[in-house]
Amino acid sequence: MHFYRDRRRHVITTQTEHKCVLDSCRYLQQEGFEVTYLPVRPDGLIDVAQLADAIRPDTGLVSVMAVNNEIGVVQPLEEIGRICREKGVPFHTDAAQALGKIPIDVNQMGIGLMSLSAHKIYGPKGVGALYLRRRPRIRVEPQMSGGGQERGIRSGTVPTPIVVGFGAACEIAAKEMDYDERRVSALQQRLLDGIRSKVDDVVINGSMEHRYAGNLNLSFAYVEGESLLMGLKEVAVSSGSACTSASLEPSYVLRALGVDEDMAHTSIRFGIGRFTTEEEVDRATELTVHQVLKLREMSPLYEMAKAGIDIKSIQWSQH
């Protein structure tokens, strides 16, 4: 946006983007750029017609993440890329969560810029990559000036060991992608079936059809998410994403899906990866079921709901 600042003053992104993209957009707004934050449908996907309508003559960038970090939904990249190409606007995608998990073809998807991160594919921490299209060429302003490394775009000595580590991780991910996908899907199903067979009122957040299987975001009605986390000390799960876990606000991603505030507070994100075992999934299921049932036993709301009382209709008096 800095490179094209004379002609292009408008950016389009989504309300469910990762915090790093949203914060970059806020920064641009402070500099006088305009940003449109597209809403998403209840399944977490954007409406591509709405995107097309939002593009203006001075739109300089459309940024839509490939796989959402909280709810795992996969956006329709090919359609977004087609619209951007037709309108002559560069398309950036934050593909940190998609790399090595879903196939990405930058030509077919019309991607102009793509951000990647090594630690999401079991590579070293502290290294990422930015894909920049050559034709039609995309120009960017250097983040750092200096020695002119990396074609003058990012100066500073390249940390060869971790770059090589990133490359090796990509090579493995490319070979293992199909196998990982099948294995992770089976584990996701096992986890979901295990929980649903013993617990009722469990809601899956985000589209089940357009989703990466390694991410399962569930809401357990009448259970406080933070209390549930406290009881799942053995299991590495989270409410919301790691980057926003310091705040007790309900997840902004779930709010954008239109999830009620009380249900947004009951959500837990389970992550399943290449090294997750069936035993771990079974243990996580067992602990989750135990904890949810225990918390619901203590919950007057659950009792009332089971007695057929419509909780939403109750007028709670304040003392």
Among 191, 169, 212, which residue's Cα sits nearest to residue 276? Answer: 191
> Residues 6 or more apart from 27 whose CB is under 8 A from it?
none
Among 81, 287, 308, 302, which residue's Cα sits nearest to residue 191? Answer: 287
Q: Which residue has tokens 């909780």?
A: 311
Distance, in Å, from the CA atom of 4 to the CA atom of 247, rounded to the nearest integer, reads: 35
Distance, in Å, from the CA atom of 240 to the CA atom of 244, rounded to the nearest integer, reads: 7
Q: Does residue 35 contact residue 13 with C-beta atoms inside 8 Å?
A: yes
Distance, in Å, from the CA atom of 282 to the CA atom of 230, rounded to the nearest integer, reads: 19
Q: Which residue has tokens 């771990």?
A: 280
Q: Does residue 214 contact residue 101 with C-beta atoms inside 8 Å?
A: yes
DSSP states of 246-295: TS-SPPHHHHHTT--HHHHTTEEEEE--TT--HHHHHHHHHHHHHHHHHH
Question: Is 25 a known active-site residue?
Answer: no
Indicate which residues carry an active-site annotation.
243
